[in-house]
Amino acid sequence: MFRLIGIRHRIKQTADQKAHPTQVTIVTGEDVQTLDLADEAAELNWVLGEFTVKNSKKKDGLRSGDQVAMILGGSGDNLAFALSRRAEEIGADIFRMPAAVLKQHRNGGDKNDDASLLAELLKTNQQEFYETQPRDRDLIWLRVSLQARIDAMQARIACEQRLHQRVIGQTFCSPEGKFPEGGIEKAFANLKANDAIMQALIKEEKARDRDLKKALEALPVYEKIFKPIEGCGPAIASRIISVIQDIRRFPTAAKLKAFCGAHLLDDGRFPRRRSGELANWSPDARQALYLLGDQFNYRADSFWGRKFREYKVHFRTVHPEIEINDKGKKKYTDGHIHKMATWRTLTKFVEFLYKEWWRLENEAK
């Protein structure tokens, strides 16, 4: 008899050191079993079928014929990747449901029951799940590659800072009282060029850049949507794709805009961090879009560069004079108009991205 399995993946430890194991509910006919996977090692053992159940001391894990339900996107992506890869080998199926759809079915219930609810929904509402396929693993691998590239970049920057501080200390605190010819910057450049650790980190960063580019080129969403956009190179495209994760998480364009921080507030303002106001968008998505907006500004003759200038002219026409609000702050200065045009352009870009990405998803069905 095949098993229905619901998995609620969780970060294993909170900031206050509270344990948060991944919760697993296994339904076999009328029998229901629950398991807690305490850490990543336990998760991997479960994927391989080598997890030791505490009470029975028997081995358990993914088996042939199993149908597994998880949430689409989020912290469980790595586990979903491993389960999907293993499922191909042994003949199991991995399904994922958008969090927004699960929330509707939860209907105000306890999140701690999500594993059981997912298993139940897989039986009654399987049409609301997406089967995890190789192209889904490609998206997950992009996130892994991007994080590796960011880690390598941060390690290289940290090494540069340590070397720079060393040069400053050696220059000012030289026992002989002699200062290097050419000053601090020349000494710093020489030290970087001859430091083995620094050169190894530079080499690693270049390797991670190559890995990231390779991961991007395996994605239709990059090749068909992002790559043709002038100014949207691998660095920016990988940030946007990685933070969105999967367009199927967003049922409407408005949801995607709100997630990216490219929406309008109730009073017509674009969102930004303000004291006393909730910032419920993704800062990583908003930062990536901001970098893309800069590229649109630099490339005036590109499609989105022309859009940006059209909005800039429009806003200056609508607001020809600088105004002062009740708090004494100036509005509609050149800088303000520039920001308004930038975010209006980025809002339209997110709408375009939503439409085109969903088109690719529908074509892939």
Each residue of 6-18: pLDDT tens digit? 999 998 777 677 8
- Does a structural domain hold residue 109? yes
Q: Specify whether 69 is located in the same domain as 168.
A: no
Is residue 229 a part of any domain in this protein? Answer: no
Same domain, 214 and 246: no
Beta-strand runs (E) in 225-328:
323-324
Phi, psi of 304 (to 5 degrees): -75, -25
For residue 331, give the H/E element and its range.
Answer: strand 330-331
Kindly state the average pLDDT of the residues 21-33. 94
160 lies in the same domain as 111: no
pLDDT at 34: 94
Q: What is the mean pLDDT of residues 275-286?
A: 75
- At 279, the pLDDT band (50, 70, 90 cuts) reads low
Answer left, alpha or beta for residue 61, where phi above 0 means left and psi between -120 and 50 means alpha: left
- Asked if the model's pLDDT at residue 180 lies above 80, the reply is no
348-355 average pLDDT score: 97
Q: Same structural domain for residues 326 and 357?
A: yes
Residue pointed to by tokens 């892939």: 364
pLDDT (average), residues 277-301:
88
User: Of 111, 132, 153, which residue constitutes the final position of a domain?
Assistant: 132
Do 140 and 72 form a contact (C-beta atoms < 8 A)? Answer: no
Q: Which helix (H) or strand (E) holds 279?
A: none
Both 74 and 148 in one domain: the answer is no
Mean pLDDT of the chain: 91
Residue at which a domain ends, from 107, 132, 157 = 132
Handedness of CA 258, 110, 27, 13 (dihedral sign): positive
User: In terms of domains, do 15 and 72 share one?
Assistant: yes
Map tokens 């490609």 to a residue.
138
Decide if 80 contacts 140 (C-beta within 8 A): yes
The reported pTM is 0.87
Which structural domain range is residue 324 located in? Answer: 239-364
| Whether residue 32 is found in the same domain as residue 75 | yes
Tell me, what's the pLDDT at 324? Answer: 87
Distances (CA, A) of 365 to 126, 130, 131, 251, 359: 16, 10, 11, 17, 10
Residues 298 and 242: their CA atoms lie apart, in Å, by: 24
Mean pLDDT of 165-190: 80
Q: Quote the tokens at residue 12.
A: 């294993």
Contacts of 250 (CB under 8 A, 6+ apart): 100, 244, 256, 259, 354
pLDDT at 174: 74
Q: Is residue 238 very low, low, confident or very high in pLDDT (cuts 50, 70, 90)?
A: very high
pLDDT on residue 330: 87
- Produce one character per residue of 61-94: b if its CB has 16 or more CB atoms within 10 Å, e if not: bbeeebbbbbbbbbebbbbbbbbbebbeeeebbb
Total domains in the chain come to 3
Give the pLDDT of residue 276. 59
Q: Are residue 175 and residue 285 in the same domain, yes or no? A: no
Judge whether 274 and 265 are in contact, CB under 8 Å.
no
Confidence of residue 228 (pLDDT cuts 50, 70, 90): very high
At residue 267, does pLDDT exceed 70? Answer: no
Q: Do residues 127 and 190 both lie within one domain?
A: no
